[in-house]
């Protein structure tokens, strides 16, 4: 694996210094993210809890402008994120709103983040606002909030929740919908002071608006005629009167559904709307184009990348110990030829493209045969794990056939492929497997504790646009245990594919080998998915056509979910290459990546019915 010299190096302080540097970058990034969300001390950020009307706990991040008190009350806004998100996704809007003198209660909707678990929609007492109604009541109860100047905003399904709350609460002074459209229930009077922002390239346009071209069709729709009460209504034009609560406006920025919650243009329009509707103190106002939220977003990305990077020197340091050093195997007798690499990658790509058909089968079983979520409550995770299981089961069968017909006759052994601990046959050394498992656990624990410290000390977590990693509640820890065995199986098989069957020749040095094999691994795992996304988004950007929608938009949410999965696959593929390079087998890397991926799935994915 050409790391023998590195592991046995006389001067071993380099790895420790690298670990310190990565940890320092992560800590500095976390501090920067915290500083931005606190607006350098001009906003206080609190972690708060309350319960909805059914007693389900709701967690929220409360942004309090400096100086707000019972004697100097400020307006308030509730923010509700979308379906497959948590409260951090609303930070862009929350940070900018709070900087301008408006308190913000940014909630983990029920079933997301740390909030409680929802019941089934057909059960008595089910909360269709997922904590939205209770959030408004909680915000109004705060002594520094002016209860007469309160509004609500949200994105996607969170906007739908906000819309339901505002339709039934005439005391709310403002409503901002992003990634969602008002319905024919809206009138010129209710909800009060309503701003709708939906992207020109929003993938849910058919479900949300019933249109193919929002810019051309929406302002002539029946819902618009009823909500605005104006003939020949136009985009980017304000109708009605803020003082009377009848103000109405529709904006269509050139963004996709996910980008709506991270669009400077959409945020600027929201800030102007809230200024007119809630009248915050004039001396607190900052130009709507002066926004800092993106610094926080990039800071949490750098913190996450530094957290991953820290595992590389830490793994090397552990492998230099006598205990973990016993894991090392050195088999470089097999290397995959370029032609075979292309063939294997193409086959893997074809299997990965079964994503949507397999999801359709899963939901057919769920709807018509067995309600899967009673045993496995996380339907988004179920779809991902179901897909990975089929890909890897088929892949394992293909590997077995290839090994018997092509590899074994050429003298290639399972030990050469990093699968066996003995030269002949399949031999699994319990002691070595135990050490591999412990190595994976130690590395995972380090990364988890660093992220946990970020959450507890700074109220930020590892994310970028999408939620990636949060600390686990007791319930979500149970979900972690439930899904981990399936993910582990998939990662072991993936490791056999990447580091056994399609392992390319080593380069001259360990760093060159790491870089080359990481590139090949990332390409094999991610290129098919990138091409898949291009099939969805090139037609969307060119002529507004969305190829993969599925029944009632089912496929859209899973296609969007592919973006963070590609990023996760790329990061873990590089880590897997390094672990294989250090140990010579697939098991430590598979265990570590299974822990990381299951953590991401269990902590960031939604526990609620899919709204399709």
What are the tens digits of pLDDT across the range 428-478? Answer: 889 999 999 999 999 999 999 999 999 999 999 999 999 999 999 999 999
Q: Which domains does the chain have, with CATH numbers?
A: 4-26+296-604 (no CATH), 38-289 (3.40.50.1820)
For residue 7, the model assigns a pLDDT of 76
Encode 332-344: b = buried (16+ Cβ within 10 Å), e = exposed. Answer: eebebeeeebeeb
Cα–Cα distance for residue pair 90/112, rounded to 1 Å: 13
Q: Residue 427 pLDDT > 90, yes or no?
A: no
**DSSP class of 87:** G
**Which residues touch 315 (CB under 8 Å, ≥6 apart)?**
439, 443, 578, 579, 582
For residue 120, the model assigns a pLDDT of 80
Which of 201, 197, 136 is CA-nearest to residue 171?
136
Backbone angles phi, psi at 145, to 5 degrees: -100, 130
For residue 611, the model assigns a pLDDT of 64
Q: In a 10 Å sphere around its CB, with 0-12 CB exposed, 13-18 middle and 19+ buried, how is residue 482 labelled?
A: middle
Residues 74-85 have a mean pLDDT of: 95
Cα–Cα distance for residue pair 250/269, rounded to 1 Å: 10
* Residues 30-79 pLDDT 10s: 999 999 999 999 999 999 999 999 999 999 999 999 999 999 999 999 99
**Per DSSP, what are the bridge partners of residue 176?**
153, 195
Which of 420, 403, 428, 419 is CA-nearest to residue 336?
403
Please tell me whether residue 46 adopts helix, strand or coil conformation.
strand
> Do 151 and 277 meet the contact criterion of CB atoms below 8 Å apart?
yes
Q: Beta strands of 108-218 (E only): which ranges?
A: 145-155, 174-178, 194-197
Q: In a 10 Å sphere around its CB, with 0-12 CB exposed, 13-18 middle and 19+ buried, how is residue 474 labelled?
A: exposed
Residue whose structure tokens are 């400096």: 66
- Inter-axis angle of helices 562-583 and 587-604, nearest 10: 160
**Which residues touch 573 (CB under 8 Å, ≥6 apart)?**
498, 518, 521, 522, 525, 526
Cα–Cα distance for residue pair 304/320, rounded to 1 Å: 25
Q: Residue 185 pLDDT > 80, yes or no?
A: yes
For residue 11, the model assigns a pLDDT of 65
Cα–Cα distance for residue pair 346/351, rounded to 1 Å: 9
**Which residues touch 510 (CB under 8 Å, ≥6 apart)?**
1, 2, 3, 5, 6, 581
Q: How far is CA 203 from CA 179, 252, 421, 530, 532, in A?
A: 9, 13, 49, 17, 15
Enter the pTM of the model: 0.95
**Per DSSP, what are the bridge partners of residue 51?**
57
Residues 565-590 have a mean pLDDT of: 96
Tell me the pLDDT band of 424, cut-offs 50, 70 and 90: confident
CA angle 366, 367, 370 (to 5 degrees): 50
Tell me the pLDDT band of 577, cut-offs 50, 70 and 90: very high
> Do 248 and 277 meet the contact criterion of CB atoms below 8 Å apart?
no
For residue 575, the model assigns a pLDDT of 97
Cis status of the peptide bond prior to 113, with omega within 30 of 0: no
Q: Residue 246 pLDDT > 70, yes or no?
A: yes
Residues 471-492 have a mean pLDDT of: 97
> Do 589 and 576 meet the contact criterion of CB atoms below 8 Å apart?
yes
Q: Residue 361 pLDDT > 70, yes or no?
A: yes
């Amino acid at each position: 694996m050409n790391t023998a010299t590195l592991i046995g190096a006389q001067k071993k302080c380099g790895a420790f210094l690298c670990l310190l540097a990565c940890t320092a970058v992560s800590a500095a990034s976390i501090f920067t993210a915290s500083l931005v969300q606190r607006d350098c001390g001009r906003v206080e950020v609190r972690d708060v809890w309350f319960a909805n009307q059914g007693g389900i706990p709701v967690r929220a991040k409360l942004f309090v402008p400096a100086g707000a008190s019972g004697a100097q009350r400020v307006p308030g806004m509730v923010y509700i994120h979308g379906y497959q998100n948590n409260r951090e996704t609303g930070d862009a809007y929350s940070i900018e709103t709070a900087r301008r003198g408006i308190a913000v209660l940014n909630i983990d909707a029920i079933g997301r983040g740390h909030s409680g678990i929802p019941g089934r929609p057909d059960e008595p007492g089910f909360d269709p606002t997922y904590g939205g109604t209770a959030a408004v009541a909680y915000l109004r109860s705060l002594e520094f909030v002016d209860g007469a100047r309160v509004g609500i905003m949200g994105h996607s399904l969170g906007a739908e929740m906000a819309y339901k709350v505002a339709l039934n609460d005439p005391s709310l002074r403002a409503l901002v919908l992003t990634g969602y459209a008002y319905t024919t229930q809206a009138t010129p009077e209710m909800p009060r002071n309503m701003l709708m922002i939906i992207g020109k390239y929003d993938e849910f346009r058919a479900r949300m608006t019933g249109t193919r071209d929002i810019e051309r069709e929406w302002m002539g729709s029946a819902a618009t005629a009823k909500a605005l009460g104006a003939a020949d209504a136009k985009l980017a034009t304000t109708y009605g009167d803020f003082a009377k609560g009848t103000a109405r406006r529709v904006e269509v920025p050139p963004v996709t559904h996910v980008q709506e919650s991270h669009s400077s243009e959409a945020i600027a329009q929201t800030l102007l709307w809230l200024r007119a509707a809630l009248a915050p103190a004039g001396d607190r106002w900052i130009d709507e184009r002066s926004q800092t939220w993106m610094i926080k977003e990039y800071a949490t990305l750098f913190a996450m990348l530094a957290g991953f990077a820290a595992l590389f020197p830490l793994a090397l340091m552990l492998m230099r110990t006598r205990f973990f050093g016993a894991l090392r195997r050195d088999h470089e007798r097999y290397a995959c030829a370029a032609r075979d690499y292309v063939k294997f990658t193409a086959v893997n790509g074809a299997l990965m493209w079964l994503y949507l058909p397999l999801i359709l089968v899963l939901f057919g079983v769920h709807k018509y045969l067995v309600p899967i979520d009673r045993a496995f409550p996380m339907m988004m995770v179920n779809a991902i794990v179901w897909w990975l299981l089929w890909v890897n089961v088929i892949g394992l069968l293909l590997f077995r056939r290839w090994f018997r017909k092509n590899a074994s006759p050429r003298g290639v052994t399972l030990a050469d492929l990093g699968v066996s601990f003995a030269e002949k046959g399949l031999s699994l050394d319990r002691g070595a497997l135990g050490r591999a498992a412990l190595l994976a656990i130690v590395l995972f624990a380090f990364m988890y504790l660093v992220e946990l410290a970020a959450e507890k000390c700074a109220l930020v977590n590892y994310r970028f646009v999408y939620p990636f990693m949060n600390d686990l509640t007791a319930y979500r820890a149970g979900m972690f245990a439930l899904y981990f065995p399936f993910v582990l199986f998939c990662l072991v098989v993936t490791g056999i594919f990447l580091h056994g069957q399609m392992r390319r020749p080593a380069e001259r040095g360990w760093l060159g080998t790491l870089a080359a094999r990481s590139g090949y691994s990332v390409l094999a795992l991610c290129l098919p998915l990138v091409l898949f996304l291009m099939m969805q988004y090139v037609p969307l950007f060119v002529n507004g056509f969305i190829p993969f929608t599925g029944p009632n938009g089912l496929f859209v949410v899973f296609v969007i979910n592919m973006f963070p999965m590609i990023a996760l696959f790329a990061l873990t593929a590089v880590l897997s290459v390094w672990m294989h390079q250090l140990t010579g087998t697939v098991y430590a890397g598979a265990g570590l990546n299974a822990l990381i991926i299951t953590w991401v799935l269990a902590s960031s994915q939604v526990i609620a019915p899919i709204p399709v």
